[in-house]
Structure 1
Amino acid sequence: MDVRPGLGGDRWLLDRTVYREGRRAGHYESFYQRANHPDRPLAFWLRYTIFAPAGDPSAAVGELWAVAFDGESGQHTVAKEEFPLDQCRFPADRFDVRVGSADLAPGRVTGAAGELSWDLHYEGSEAPVLLLPPRLYRGGFPKAKSLVPLPLARYSGSYAVAGRAIEVNGWIGSQNHNGGSRHTDRYTFGQVAGFDDFPDTFLEVATAKTTLLGPVTTPWATTLVLRHRGAEHSIVSLRRAVRAKATYGYFHWEFSTGNADVEIGGRITAARDAFVGLRYRDPPGGVKHCLNTKIAAAEITIRDRTTGRTELLRTTRRALFELLTSDTESGVTLRA
């Protein structure tokens, strides 16, 4: 994730693999796609990942994750498969990923895992979204970094659940890239690729707290990027991040932040049965638990500080909502 001045319009440079085979420092790195049906509570999430435990580069593997969310039946299908790294492709000079026989490249994503299979095309022209100040993508802090090389991606094709095909025609989502030497200790993360009345509006937001050294942790910090009505509100500076307010539980999250131009507040929620539970191994050791849904509800309020004008954005079932924790008290079953 090398974000440098002069990167220009080649978004795929942001999807070059950071990991170098043989390194002893632990590392995880994921390239994932997600999109929602325009009207129904259906969504897919496809994740192509490298996992390398600290101190043992020979144990590095490729992981293929897939979830089909079905808010109509309440039955979400989850799959995960692992492959030796020599059966994978994660090149450092281009975006052309393979895990087993599953491929991900500009404009195309194909594969199969468990009861799920997919054959999808995607396109888009939006500029990348950075959830951190650009300089932080080049250093060792924070240990985990995330960006969106292609927001508001449009998908076509199909995926199948146990042989039952679901047609994908103009679903909106995103192409994403994240990774680092360790997972953030605790976070909530949200994304909306198109609100109900504003299909071209995009939101990316996170609240996080992480360890610095031993018992020393950062304060809670919230960063947010909102693109709406042709303007980008990027509220990602460290000063504003630690001044933002946020509270969350397993299935709800409220946050507020702002800058000299706007105040932005939001709430993202979902019922327990909208989530799947996933085990994320941490490169230094241990396991984090991810509560993951792509069919949450969101409400965002924007207030213009100059005019006082307030606007409300809503989606009833198109929000990504993830929570990372070390406990197991949520009642969400860990599926993979």
Structure 2
Amino acid sequence: MNDPVAELGTNRVESWFFRANCPTTPRAIWIKATFLTSTSGRNLAQAWVSVFDGDTATAAWRTIDYGDATATTAGGGHRITIGDTAFTVTDTGGTLRGHLDRDGQDVHWDIAFERDDSELADPLVLIGTAAKVRRSRFPANKVVSPFPVVHCSGTVTIGGKAWLVDGWSGMQGHNWGPAHSRQYVWGQAVFSEQSGRQPFAYVEAASARVAIANRTSPYFSVMTVRHGAQMYRFDRLFDLHRQHVDASFPNWRLRMRGAAGTATLSMTARREQFVILPYQNPAAPTRYCLNSKLAQVELRVEPRTGNDFVLRSEHGGALEFLVDNPRSLLPTAAIPFD
């Protein structure tokens, strides 16, 4: 699921991304490598890092020419190098090493991650199946999680202050498409035991609007819940009567009904816990991602068979809103890369 798909001469955005959260304190890191190609010949590679510490959120990035980046495949793995950053993935885990400095925000990282040894480790395709995701034409934007739950080790250094990330949990994802969706909300959370801090469940979900004949569609939503060995999928995209979306930034509430039962996901973060990231498109205006990795999460599931359950995380959720105009939502926040 991590195999590259970008092709020169096509309009495409492709990203590999990783996040890790501290299980005991509101700290997290998010790292992303993006390739952008276009029919116009404007081809870029971008490295990103965002660091979240309580109510402090900082971000840095670097853009270089596509030809100066590398994406090599060997031994069943891939290595993406963009400037001083390197993102390596295999079938059992990966490593991330790099350094970015932007406007005085200096971040170094040296992190290894490995697959969880339970059913939680099974790769996830949010829409569709693993067998068909690469060749299917719908949806145009593919969202996969080769590693929905990982265990992390290593260090992150911000402005000379070092964090030890041993014992942190997270995920690694891969997405691609001709452009970012017109508007979306995406969320993911890993739930761990109170004692022992071992992951036992996760949720990943998205609500997106797309352009149809110069108009913007309603939200189409999808959600997958993994609770131990049980999987609950809510992926009837066009069954709008069975999904309810309230995406009032910085809050997102998604309720879905389907063959698996009913699930209600509520996520929120304080405005100070978001960074603003400009997401460029090959042949469309730039969109802006309001990105937090410290969201509060509540998930209520009423299965068709079995007992109801409620899962909560105080600061372990990944929450993103893609919008046209970030100033209307975060009027005082910096857009550091305009």
**Fold shared by both chains (TM-score > 0.5):** yes
Matched, 1:264 2:251: no
In the other structure, the counterpart of 1:10 is none
Whether the 8 Å CA contact 1:36–1:318 is kept in 2: the answer is yes
In the other structure, the counterpart of 1:318 is 316
1:129 maps to amino acid = L
Decide which moves more: 236-245 or 106-115: 236-245
Map 1:292-307 onto structure 2 (within 5 A).
292-306=291-305
Matched, 1:113 2:109: no
1:110 maps to amino acid = R
Shift of 1:209: 1.0
C-alpha distance after superposition, 1:263-308 (max 9, x if no partner) = 111210111111111111111131101100000101011113345x
The 1-side partners of 2:145 and 2:122 are apart by 9
Q: Tell me the percent identity.
A: 25
The SS at the match of 2:154 is strand
Aligned with 2:44 (options 51, 61, 65): 61
Q: Give structure 2 stretches of 5+ with no counterpart.
A: none
In the other structure, the counterpart of 1:6 is none
Matched, 1:82 2:66: no
C-alpha distance after superposition, 1:173-225 (max 9, x if no partner) = 0111012111101111000022564732111000111013x325443211001
The 2-side partners of 1:175 and 1:260 are apart by 28
1:124 maps to amino acid = R
The 2-side partners of 1:207 and 1:158 are apart by 33
C-alpha distance after superposition, 1:25-60 (max 9, x if no partner) = 2211111110100100000000011122x3322x31
Matched, 1:40 2:25: yes
The 2-side partners of 1:304 and 1:55 are apart by 46
In the other structure, the counterpart of 1:191 is 188
The 2-side partners of 1:56 and 1:282 are apart by 12
Whether the 8 Å CA contact 2:96–2:110 is kept in 1: the answer is yes
Aligned length: 315
Matched, 1:122 2:105: no
Instruction: Output the TM-score relative to the length of structure 2.
Output: 0.88
Shift of 1:77: 2.3
Aligned with 2:149 (options 136, 147, 152): 152
Whether the 8 Å CA contact 1:263–1:302 is kept in 2: the answer is yes
In the other structure, the counterpart of 1:220 is 219
Q: Give structure 1 stretches of 5+ with no counterpart.
A: 1-13
Shift of 1:168: 0.8
The 2-side partners of 1:264 and 1:62 are apart by 38
The 2-side partners of 1:306 and 1:268 are apart by 25
Whether the 8 Å CA contact 1:27–1:180 is kept in 2: the answer is yes
Whether the 8 Å CA contact 1:235–1:241 is kept in 2: the answer is no
Shift of 1:76: 1.9
The SS at the match of 2:284 is coil
The Cα RMSD (Å) is 1.9
In the other structure, the counterpart of 2:329 is 330
